[in-house]
Amino acid sequence: MKANLIIAIGTFSILTIGCTRQQEKEAKIEEKIDALLKQMTFEEKIGQMSQLNSNGNVADYKELIKAGKIGSFLNEINPATINEMQRIAMEESRLKIPILFARDVIHGFKTIFPIPLAQAATWNPLIVEEGGRVAAVEATEVGIRWTFAPMLDITRDPRWGRIAESLGEDPYLASVLGAAMVRGFQGNDLAEPTSMAACMKHFAGYGFVEGGRDYNTTMIPEVVLREVVLPPFKAAVDAGVATAMSSFNEINGVPSTGNSFLLRKVLREEWNFKGFVVSDWASVAEMIVHGYCADEKEAAMKAANAGLDMEMVTPLYAKHLDSLVKEGKVSMKTIDEAVRNILRIKFKLGLFDNPYVKIPQTSKIYSKSHLAAAKEAAIQSAVLLKNEKNLLPLGNQVKSIAIIGPLADAPSDQLGTWTLDGDKNYTQTPLKAIQAEYSNKLNIIYEPTLGYSRDIDGSNFSKAVAAARRADVVLMFLGEESILSGEARCRAEINLPGIQSQLVEEVKKAGKPIVLIIMAGRPLTIEKECILADAVLYAWHPGTMGGPAIADLLFGKAVPSGKLPVTFPKTVGQIPIYYNHKNTGRPPHENLQLIGSIPPGAKQLTMGYVSYYLDAGADPLFPFGYGLSYTTFEYTNLQLSKTELNNPDEITVTCQLKNTGKYEADEIVQLYVRDRVGSLTRPVKELKGFQRIRLKPQESKTVTFTLKTEDLAFWNADMKKVTEPGDFDVWIGPNSKDGLKGSFKVLP
């Protein structure tokens, strides 16, 4: 007991000392900012609030830099240019304030990881953090110290092109993974040369745009905003995210760039955010187009007063803030607060002491360790959706394979969206990986058939069928090109582009087993193709090392473990469809009468009056959290530590998980709850926890979750977060649809 007390006191002392040192460090930064602000002219202050897009020509910016009129540059990646610009700032400007260089490094700089939506399918914060760390190490090597990621927009609409950048539909999953990405980018200390300032975006509500159309309108009740949209951003703030970006969209009639409720009340007052907020590209000026501001001057005024610290690309701050301050429409206090927020991050990044790019003797770009990490991320992100008769993994009985489809050897497309600096010459495609590993063991027949995913030339269909007939198994690599997902890449229909679906139908006529590998930036409506195929592996856009990762999965060197971070609809008409929906007064049941079963002349009153589609039913194609393995897992013996809880209190929920199959593998065990009755209606299920559990064949393990009553809280009609007494259901299972169920009560 005495020894434990000594250890506890020692630990407390270390934490106290660490906390005190951090406070002292932060206090010194504030002192430096105070001293600098006193010396700055108004023009120099506005300069810090201005970010320009570099054209690479130093001469064009030299006088502006000398005058202190540029705080940040976007899209400059030449270390020599960066160093020269920084030299002018540090040696020729009056106050020697360094410039912050930024770039969209979304899921890798040179070594490209799977798209963020795919990373979310790993349900593995360590994988996501490692992806951010690799990106930061590579990007900082050329001088990039600020990235515009993670994108934390929750979305329920796969038509939206930017779903590829998201972490899915669930606020809890996105919160855990978003915080991990922040830690990866920023490292243990922002001042480290390999650390990049992260930027949580888009604040807020961008994923709720009407019709899945980019830049569009959103109408979000505050309770939904706080319950669904904001939690991942709050998690990023808690993780120490350095910056935030306002979103393009308006929200309830007010563009986010001029939204003081978001930027001041929530971000600053409620969350105590100490970083700075940057606009999205030209979004200050776009408030005029929205119809929220009459002219540039009003846009600058509303943005600054709302708490927008830095303007990206457009010069409205530089043109109008001077007169706005003189007219008393923007206060000097507002200007000083914005500049303080920006300088604080520059000090934390260590730019005042180490402003220049130092090229390492040995580059880490495309290093073996980085490629290995990217491959592991691609392996864990792939989701096995179907595997009839255990077709996968391919065994020794397979002597020949036909590789068919436009994405089997598409090095640029498999990188996915927002890969500004990825080099397709380093991409390892599935075709090349399979040929390299198995050409001496298998007869490999390659027939791309289509030149690209949107190709509508079916003249080579006969070649595909002939190739399939010569093979034991057909591997079809289909999906969408990278250009079809991402910003401004929204689709009204999200089926396989071009005539890929017809290609599957034709190849099916060969009578050979078909493995369908989908490479895409979003969920696609592939119900028909899933029926035709014997096995389906959803590989997303898997990045630089997608080829070797897919090859290992197909041939059993790795076992699929990915789970869907978003619901897959059967048809686009079901959208929005998501697991954590509300119930209705007439929820669907199992015996729904679908359109094909309605007899001619049927009377209206013969129909069941419940909430569903006559032609699509009520269920999705695949539910949130779904994913198969090459082995099988058995969930048994759900146990609750108690059935009644006080408030505050906690409960442990356990079950037995057994690997009942033949392969050592990971299972992502998921915990869901439902508050049966609330002062506001509650979702039918909410994710509250998950664990990745690795088991050998026939091995069992007790999986334990702890739920606190505060985990059951929600925002009520008075916009207070409360845990209400009442009955709760709880599930542990493999996805949002299946699992073991229990119940408990929170007492008044």
* Model confidence pLDDT, tens digit, residues 489-545: 999 999 999 999 999 999 999 999 999 999 999 999 999 999 999 999 999 999 999
* Model confidence pLDDT, tens digit, residues 244-255: 999 999 999 999
Give the pLDDT of residue 231.
Answer: 98
Q: In whole angstroms, what is the distance from residue 655 CA to residue 732 CA?
A: 7
Give the pLDDT of residue 381.
Answer: 98
pLDDT bin (cut points 50, 70, 90) of residue 608 is confident
* Model confidence pLDDT, tens digit, residues 457-475: 999 999 999 999 999 999 9
Residue 440 CB neighbour total at 10 angstroms: 7
Q: Let me know the angle formed at the C-alpha of 538 by 466 and 510, rounded to the nearest 5 degrees.
A: 15
With a cut of 70, say whether residue 388 has pLDDT above it. Answer: yes
Give the pLDDT of residue 572.
Answer: 98
Give the pLDDT of residue 721.
Answer: 97
DSSP 54: -
Give the pLDDT of residue 549.
Answer: 99
- Is there a cis peptide before residue 542, judged by omega within 30 degrees of 0? no
* Model confidence pLDDT, tens digit, residues 327-366: 999 999 999 999 999 999 999 999 999 999 998 889 999 9
Where along the chain do the CATH 2.60.40.10 domains lie?
633-746
* CATH no. of 42-348: 3.20.20.300
Residue 127's closest CA among 545, 688, 635, 687? 545
* Model confidence pLDDT, tens digit, residues 663-704: 999 999 999 999 999 999 999 999 999 999 999 999 999 999
pTM above 0.85, yes or no: yes
Active site residues: 280
Contacts of 80 (CB under 8 A, 6+ apart): none
Helices in 294-331 by DSSP H: which ranges? 296-306, 316-326
3-class DSSP assignment, residue 434: helix
Give the pLDDT of residue 603.
Answer: 81
Give the pLDDT of residue 6.
Answer: 57
**Mean pLDDT across the chain, nearest whole number?**
96
Would strands 686-695 and 665-675 be described as parallel, antiparallel, or unpaired? Answer: antiparallel
Residue 506 CA neighbour count, 13 Å, CB half = 19
* Model confidence pLDDT, tens digit, residues 615-628: 999 999 999 999 99
Q: In whole angstroms, what is the distance from residue 176 CA to residue 311 CA?
A: 29
With a cut of 80, say whether residue 729 has pLDDT above it. Answer: yes
Angstrom distances, CA of residue 308 to CA of 149, 269, 343, 614? 18, 14, 15, 48
With a cut of 80, say whether residue 11 has pLDDT above it. Answer: no
Q: In whole angstroms, what is the distance from residue 422 CA to residue 415 CA?
A: 7
Distance of CA 565 to the CA centre of its chain: 10
- Contact (CB, 8 A) for 535 and 392: yes
Where along the chain do the CATH 3.20.20.300 domains lie?
42-348
pLDDT bin (cut points 50, 70, 90) of residue 115 is very high
Give the pLDDT of residue 22.
Answer: 82
With a cut of 70, say whether residue 18 has pLDDT above it. Answer: no
Q: In whole angstroms, what is the distance from residue 508 CA to residue 498 CA?
A: 18
pLDDT over 90, % of the chain:
93
What CATH number matches the domain at 633-746, 3.30.70.2190, 2.60.40.10, 1.10.287.130, 1.10.760.10? Answer: 2.60.40.10
* Model confidence pLDDT, tens digit, residues 401-460: 999 999 999 999 999 999 999 999 999 999 999 999 999 999 999 999 999 999 999 999
Give the pLDDT of residue 103.
Answer: 98
Give the pLDDT of residue 7.
Answer: 55
* Model confidence pLDDT, tens digit, residues 29-62: 999 999 999 999 999 999 999 999 999 999 999 9
